[in-house]
Amino acid sequence: PTLVLADHDAIAREVANRIDALIRERQAAGQRTVLGLATGSTPIGVYRELIRRHRDEGLSFRDVVTFNLDEYYPMAKDSIHSYHRYMWENLFAHIDIDPKNVHIPPGDIPREEVSEACAEYEAEIRRMGGIDFQLLGIGKTGHIGFNEPGSGADSRTRLVHLDNITRKDAAADFFGEENVPREAVTMGVATILDAKEIAILATGEHKAAIVRRAVEGEIDHAVAATFLQRHPATTFFVDEPAAADLT
Ligand code: F6R
């Protein structure tokens, strides 16, 4: 389903509420919760709301395990551009998660070790029982994670080339397109579709065209987000501007 909400904050509250309920329900049953997490500007409100619930409402992340979607390659963990740093600054440093339960694809290992590390990332997700709830944003190319146009429905965690449009979108953050890495390590489309429940979020008029393509367009590998149409438990959370082109 597609849920159109007023704005970024309304989406953040709604999604954080679902994550909160899932964690508490599983805690009550003595089970861990496995979350798939995204970076970028879209999930910031969700993380802010989860931090508030931790601080004010006793939400604990003691038995929460996380797997992030992606990381640039190459990328040092302590770089201001790294998704490792983003996650610690925007979420993990402010909650009671056990650092050993945090997983983020490596951007700082030698190229010859990447494919084995990707296989290990997939294996660790399986050992943890699979992802219970996957949070996603969507890029202008229709990427989820960094599954750019051409990514197949059976793709798994791997090293990929970033699309030129994606690199242009990141240029301001990197003070110039020439500084944006050309590659990334990302979960695959199949990795994402294995999640039991998925929330994909989009806000702003600059996302309206790709939201329409993702929700109403034909399912094919030119737009990775269209594969979500086949997933049995995916909700699209959009604000009014991002929903503007939906028929
Ligand atoms: C981030 C990720 C990307 C972003 C997408 C949207 O981990 O995997 O797919 O979700 O590029 O980015 P924002 O939210 O910055 O518009």
Instruction: Check: CB of residue 37 under 8 Å from CB of residue 68.
Output: yes
Atom of ligand 1 nearest to the CA of 42: 14
CA-based Rg of the chain, rounded to a whole angstrom?
17
- Report the pocket of ligand 1 as residue ranges, CB < 6 Å: 38-42, 69-70, 137-139, 143-146
Atom of ligand 1 nearest to the CA of 136: 10
DSSP character string of 126-182: HHTT--SEEEE---TT--STT--TT--TT--SEEEEPPHHHHHHHTTTTTSGGGS-S
Residue 192: both structure tokens together: 């994402």
- Please report the pLDDT score of residue 96 as a whole number: 98
Partnered with residue 137 across adjacent β-strands are none
Cα end-to-end span (Å), the chain: 14
**Domain 2-239: CATH architecture, name and number where available:** 3-Layer(aba) Sandwich (3.40)
| Amino acid (one-letter) located at 207 | K
What are the phi and psi torsion angles at 4 (to 5°)? -100, 120
Question: How far is residue 203's CA from residue 207's CA, in Å, rounded to a whole number?
Answer: 7
What is the pLDDT at residue 44? 98
- Output the CA 67–ligand 1 centroid distance in Å: 15
User: Can you tell me which atom of ligand 1 is nearest the CA of 166?
Assistant: 11
Q: How far is it, in rounded angstroms, from Cα 40 to Cα 143?
A: 13
Which is nearest to 41 in space by CA: 150, 195, 197, 204?
Answer: 204
For atom 1 of ligand 1, the residue with the nearest CA is: 39
Both tokens of 218, joined, read 């034909």
Domain extents for the chain?
2-239
Residues in contact with 122: Cβ distance below 8 Å, sequence separation at least 6, in sequence order: 156, 157, 191
Annotated active-site residue in 49, 71, 122, 148: 148
What pairs with residue 231 in β-bridges? none
Q: Along the 247 residues of the chain, how does pLDDT read in single tens digits?
A: 999 999 999 999 999 999 999 999 999 999 999 999 999 999 999 999 999 999 999 999 999 999 999 999 999 999 999 999 999 999 999 999 999 999 999 999 999 999 999 999 999 999 999 999 999 999 999 999 999 999 999 999 999 999 999 999 999 999 999 999 999 999 999 999 999 999 999 999 999 999 999 999 999 999 999 999 999 999 999 999 999 999 9
Number of residues that this document lists for the chain: 247
Answer yes or no: pTM beyond 0.90.
yes
Question: How far is ligand 1, taken at its centre, from the CA of residue 28, in Å?
Answer: 32
Q: Is 148 among the catalytic positions?
A: yes
Q: How many alpha carbons fall within 13 Å on the CB side of residue 158?
A: 14
